[in-house]
Structure 1
């Protein structure tokens, strides 16, 4: 199956939560890491972004969250451009971002970390705590525990929970399985799927390509800052070109 036949149909505009169009972005003047990338996430979708090292996967997420300068193109969330907005404004617009590392406040308790996620709207704490502990039940039993004493997988749960406290329109996850043991990796993917099934539109960058494509609704293969292939997760898993170029080296030992 070619990448053309694998491509998913263009979403109806009313369903679109995130729309990235012809994006060029980079860290240094005159050097773009993202070179004309496109991405669409519909309401309630789980979108996976895979590709080789250096393809610009994490940079694309950071560009959406305003951490990398956008030079050309546009990014809209719920139909409104968010290019140039600072992090606090993006959170107000419903964009939540969980970085790969340094994603909790280690000196604070789990409860205090969750409260930090709601500094813009503390009145909804009880309501949102009920939501996140419905997904991460064990956190609700350990709210007073210091985040710095948690394992890597547990910290990842706290980071995702904190991001969910503001009831975001879209959750951006950068390598949620990175650095975790195989068992914890599987747990991380299950949690991401649970978050999405709870109604949160999710865009996930992931190095474990096979596992990512197994759980996502649609996937994008980034190569040299461009979306080289797109389609449903199942189509990309079975696309000979994607298998030959990417899945042979990406997460091959994680395949089932």
Structure 2
């Protein structure tokens, strides 16, 4: 999927503003210790962006920096051209940015429906409409709305977490390791749901340890290494890049 283009009256082609643009970001958790060291990324309208790389490369830190959970010390982050660097998470949600963390991503003592309602606390009057949208993507949840989230499997909790993030109707969804800890069958289901979310019109940025599957479904990918974007290209290009295969995919690239 490419940038949205339009042709003005003069005949020149205008390229739309990226939905998310990360430029030269330096960020970290502790004073003087940077995890990101000049990282850049763009996500265009309707794209599914995959972020892969070795452990400690800064993948999750990048998502948290976009979502205002990690202090950005240098660089900038924009949302449709608007500066959002270090904006608080609640304000980002109101602007149409959703985030699904890897762990502790549901309220276990609440039912599935109550978890979903928590995702819409800023606009409770839209509950019926948003529930209908979410249940179309996750039909199994619709049959179990009264079940407590704490009784769900890891894969089911991941579905609830993604659903809750969708309740506000985000323009952009940030996913941190959606397949982590899941069985192979549940991993396939998670990737299928990610594709369905993206096809529903939500620009998606996904960090994923399952590098091969991530590159198979994404429009474009970024390989992070030591806090920088070392390689970028379409998912297919990265899957077939000898350097990416040798350094990050290993034998997975030959399967």
Q: Give the TM-score category using the shorter length.
A: over 0.9
Q: What is the 5 A alignment of 1:121-200?
A: 121-200=123-202
Q: Does the CA contact (< 8 Å) of 2:100 and 2:161 recur in 1?
A: yes
> Paired residue for 1:43, among 36, 42, 45?
45
Residue ranges of structure 1 left out of the alignment (5+ in a row): 1-7
Mapped partners of 2:189, 2:42: distance in 1: 27
Deviation at 1:78, TM superposition (A): 1.4
**TM-score of the superposition, structure 2-length normalised?**
0.93
Worse overlay, 19-28 or 76-85 = 76-85
Matches within 5 A, 1:57-72: 57-72=59-74
* 1:230 paired to 2:246: no
Q: Of residues 28, 31, 52 in structure 2, which corresponds to 1:29? A: 31
- 1:114 and 2:99 matched: no
Q: Which residue of 1 aligns with 2:75?
A: 73
> Aligned equivalents of 2:128 and 2:80: distance in 1?
26
Closer, same or farther: CA 84–15 of 1 in aligned 2, 3 Å = closer
Residue 28 of structure 1 and its aligned partner are, at CA, apart by: 0.6
Is there any run of 5+ residues in structure 2 with no aligned partner, and where? 6-13
Query: Measured at CA, do residues 149 and 240 of structure 1 come closer, stay the same or move farther in structure 2, by a change above 3 Å?
Result: same
Structure 1 residue 9: deviation in Å?
A: 8.4
* Equivalent in the alignment of 1:210: 212
Question: How well do the aligned residues superpose, as a CA RMSD in angstroms?
Answer: 1.7
Give the C-alpha shift of residue 15 in structure 1: 4.4
Residue in structure 2 matched with residue 88 of structure 1 by the alignment? 90
Runs of 4+ with deviation above 6 angstroms = 8-12
Find the aligned partners of 1:79 and 1:122 in 2 and give their Cα distance: 28
- Structure 1 residues 205 and 15 mapped into 2: Cα distance closer, same or farther (>3 Å)? same
- For these two proteins, the number of residue pairs brought into alignment is 246
- Separation in 1, partners of 2:214, 2:199: 15
Q: Deviations over 1:148-194 (max 9, x none)?
A: 01000000000000000000110000000000011111111111111
Give the secondary-structure state (helix, strand or coil) at the position aligned to 2:19. strand
* CA distance in 1 between partners of 2:3 and 2:90 (Å): 33
